[in-house]
Amino acid sequence: MNTQLAEPSVSRKNDSGVPVSYSRRRTETPRPEELLKKGASELEPLRWRWLMWSLTTWTTFCVLAFLTLIVLAGASETPVAALVTGAVSLLIVYLFARMGRWYRDKLQDGFDHWRAEVFAFLENGAEFTANCHLSQADFDHSGLNSAVYNRFSGDNQLSFHGVRASNLAINHVYDETYYTTDSDGNRVAKTRTVVAPVFHGLMLIVDAPLPHAGTVVINDPSHGIGVLRKLQVTCPHLKKRYAIGADDPLVGHRVLTPSFQEALWGYRQEFKYLPRFAYRSGKLYVAIPGASLQAGKRPIRWLPVSITRLDRVLKQCEALLGFLHSSAEKLRPELDD
Report, as an integer, the average pLDDT of 53-59.
90
In angstroms, how far is CA 272 from the centroid of its own chain?
17
Residue 82, pLDDT > 50, answer: yes
C-beta of residue 301 within 8 angstroms of C-beta of residue 104: yes
- For residue 205, give every residue at least 6 positions away whose Cβ sits within 8 Å of its Cβ, in sequence order, or none: 134, 138, 142, 163, 164, 165, 283, 284, 285, 286
C-beta of residue 145 within 8 angstroms of C-beta of residue 198: yes
* pLDDT of the residue at 3: 35
Q: Is 129 exposed, middle or buried (0-12, 13-18, 19+ CB in 10 A)?
A: middle
SS3 content of the chain, % helix, strand, coil (to 5): 40, 25, 35
Question: Concatenated DSSP letters for 294-311?
Answer: ---PPP-TTS---HHHHH
Torsion sign, CA atoms 238, 158, 310, 55: negative
Alpha helix ranges (H) inside the chain: 33-74, 79-122, 136-142, 236-241, 249-255, 258-268, 307-331
Residue 287, beta-bridge partner list: 203, 276
In angstroms, how far is CA 81 from the centroid of its own chain?
51
Among 116, 170, 106, 102, which Cα is nearest to 138's? 170
Over the stretch 96-147, which tens digit does the pLDDT of each residue have?
A: 899 999 999 999 999 999 999 999 999 999 999 999 999 999 999 999 999 9
Mean pLDDT of the chain: 86
Going by pLDDT thresholds of 50, 70 and 90, the confidence category of residue 7 is very low
Compute φ and ψ for 55, nearest 5 degrees. Answer: -65, -40
